[in-house]
Amino acid sequence: MKRTTLKDIAKALNTTIATVSRALNDKPEISNEMKNRVRKVAELYNYKPNQTALSLKFQKSYSFGVILPSLTHYYFDQILSGMLQEATKNGYKLILAASNYDPEKELELIQDFYELNVDGILILPSRMLNTKKNELENLIRNDIPFLVIDKLIYFDKKKIPFISSDDYAGTKEGITHLIKQGYKKIAHIKGLDSSSVSNVRYQAYLETLSKHNIEIDSQRVLSCKDFTKEEGEELAEKLMTLDNKPDAIFCIDDHIAIGVLRGLKKMGYEVPSDVAVLGFSNSDISEVCTPQLSTIHQPGNKIGRRSIKLILSNINKQKDISDTKIVIKTKFIQRETT
């Protein structure tokens, strides 16, 4: 079957090859009307750019390197899905790698991607990469855009773009909901102190309780390290054996919250009449568990799409994105556990 070319599209639209090329590359001198016409015909003809020819002509690989801590987390999967949608739409491919939460592996993967001559690197770093920030900062090149997602790393010499969900506002909304529902002994299962995400949510938890004159009991704040359902069960048991046991538990993520629900059920507690449970992420399991989990929705797909758009604005429009910080709104989802 003959491969569709720019010439074929130009002939169908009675225009020039140059106009078609500029339209597909979203050049500002081409009207939006023409761009839409070209895209529709390109889609109709199943047009696929010749990546080898494009790479040679424009000195681009038309690929992005993406590093995730894990390939099995719902939130990460949503971010990746958004990235794929936006990258594919713009003629780019993603080269995906998982670090398994190993900061040494993350540094190695970044170096590998530079050697592959990718056009940009996007990383959702592990919470431990912050301990290697000097090595990371020295590794990052100025000629290839580098974007950090979700966990903010404070560099000393470089400005690096960052995009995340609004963890502070999301936590504040969720805790405020619990308070309005009448819960006053609100516990928190947080992440590690080395995690910027954990620290932001913990700070929002403290400040929201303080704002509403709710008691803050340090015994009702526990840390998790494995983020598993089994760990959630164990921590629920610890909380409910306190003399001043909680009447609500806010969890760092949905997996821990599901474990907490299991632990409470084993101990004979009713949710939410005895204890309310609040998660974070709005993962697929939050709606299918019993009772259904109230949680805070993180817009992973939107974050993924915005990430690719930001990188492309640097590549295609020469826009300086080095000092860009994008925070995308979360949304509280009330279900049966609160």
156/204: higher pLDDT: 204
- For the segment 120-145, the average pLDDT, to the nearest whole number, is 92
At residue 25, the pLDDT reads: 77
CATH homologous superfamily, domain 167-297? Response regulator (3.40.50.2300)
72: exposed, middle or buried (C-beta count within 10 Å: 0-12, 13-18, 19+)? exposed
Query: Residue 291: which residues within 8 A CB-CB, separation 6 or more?
Result: 261, 271, 272, 335, 336, 337
At residue 56, the pLDDT reads: 46
Are β-strands 295-297 and 331-333 bridged in parallel, bridged antiparallel, or unpaired?
Answer: antiparallel
Distance, in Å, from the CA atom of 286 to the CA atom of 125, rounded to the nearest integer, reads 24
At residue 51, the pLDDT reads: 56
pTM exceeds cut of 0.85: no
Closest CA to 241 of 217, 216, 266, 267: 267
At residue 199, the pLDDT reads: 94
Q: Is the pLDDT of residue 1 over 80?
A: no
- Across the chain, mean pLDDT equals 92
Distance, in Å, from the CA atom of 186 to the CA atom of 192, rounded to the nearest integer, reads 19
List where CATH 3.40.50.2300 sits in the chain: 61-164+300-327, 167-297
> What are the φ and ψ backbone dihedral angles of 284, each rounded to 5 degrees?
-65, -30
Tens digit of each residue's pLDDT (9 = 90 or more) over 264-283: 999 999 999 999 999 999 99
Q: Is the pLDDT of residue 57 over 70?
A: no
Q: Which two tokens stand for residue 219?
A: 């015994």
At residue 71, the pLDDT reads: 85
Distance, in Å, from the CA atom of 308 to the CA atom of 122, rounded to the nearest integer, reads 9
Q: How many helices (H) and strands (E) does the chain have?
A: 13, 12
105/7: higher pLDDT: 105
Q: Is the dihedral of CA 305, 311, 316, 317 positive or negative?
A: positive
**Protein fold of 61-164+300-327:** Rossmann fold (3.40.50)
Q: Which two tokens stand for residue 212?
A: 């509403």
Q: Is the peptide bond before 272 cis (omega within 30 degrees of 0)?
A: yes
**Cα–chain center distance at 201:** 15
DSSP string covering 258-292, please?
A: HHHHHHHHHTT--TTTT-EEE-SB--THHHHSSSP
